[in-house]
Structure 1
């Protein structure tokens, strides 16, 4: 047992946040290329081999060329599937380049560069997301989340507990939408959907405004040198709350990784919390499981 522990410690230093972050991000990317069928076979197969090699070989994952190659495959996928790619797949490209540049620095400078880069990336991405939602009348009036509710896309377990007819109504709505979208005669027409609960529209509006407020607060807090612990607890709450609404496990893993990198080393509890939820999200992806409250 002692020999095995020694080998693990030689492979990766548990205090080396740069190496840990690189390994986790490599695992997230590996799960992405395996799960997303829209990624071309060449990119999927090539990326899988490279990413597995990165996870196995500790020196490879710290080489800039490894990350430039990974970034190249991510870019190739975006160029071929630009309009169908998820938002976080663009983030994968940025982070791949960040890791490449990080490992171009001297070892003693890598952690600071990675933390600064992740911080600025968080501020830009979360800030723009807040601005985009705030300027979108459709979003802050609750239109997007209301649409999810009508389809049974969020909080299905909660709503079906409150109203036993919820599932049948949302199923009917989903079928109507599918037929409506698939019929060219629907162009210019309107589709009437049943409201599964009477207070759904108001709930969606309050929830949308809450999301905008939370994202704005997090952007300001992360940009500030203050609130060292509270901003990370708030970010953890944001990630976990988002999980209850949308099961975007790989995206949430990436958000959690961002928090892990930005978390002060002395705050061991928050660091472990980030690691636990990252492992949980990745486990759900690997096993293709869905928690009970989604059914």
Structure 2
């Protein structure tokens, strides 16, 4: 399989570092971009013949480590980081490049996904968002037990949150429930669960994957993609089982194993529609010899077309 065939942007790939843990309860994800670079991400993608533009790191406010105010921790800082990331991501999409956001915690998806949605509206393209995560991230100020905004990006993208976050992309909501597929979910708060059901989000939780297998799960999640659909993958590293990916702040046992994760990525690559990517919640302070970052790079290679397939096409 040709790596070049998997990418819509003929101008190559852009790496955008967003070194912040301002939305999380556990510090350390701010070091994620460096760990991914050390693990050889740019070199791995370049092997597919794609120009790689490493834009370096965005520079935003520090993590003030303050308690929640009215159900949100660090709202002003999270808004600033996401506004910067929105502009950076949108700029690379308009240049015809495939942006990869190197997080940082998952609150950053508010900026990246709102930019992708805005670009798709401008281009008249359908959008599909694959949310690979142990958590639904559909909390709101009224539902959250912690106030941490990395548990709220999906809700904000669907228009449920403070205006400074829901209006990042110029349209509220940035996403509609029918554009979202959540995969690998296994830790959801009770109020959050009811909210997800009310909105009608398609969720393929770990029980579904256990019962039906990853192949069937991905066939369902990718069903209906058109030739011009933009596919955005938001990969929270805690999607993976902590036995293979210990370097995250919110580990949840019972996630996909190595081969299941590889199959997930290979089937996404097979569509040829990958248009943008987040890699978030990697926490090197909790990792073992950078193995989680190296695994993330391995999976990204599969997203770009690396395959163990030995059968004839």
Work out whether the TM-score is over 0.5. no
Larger gyration radius, structure 1 or structure 2: 1
TM-score (norm 2): 0.30
- With a CA cutoff of 8 Å and minimum separation of 6, indicate the structure with the bigger relative contact order: 2
Which structure has greater helix proportion?
1
TM-score (norm 1): 0.32
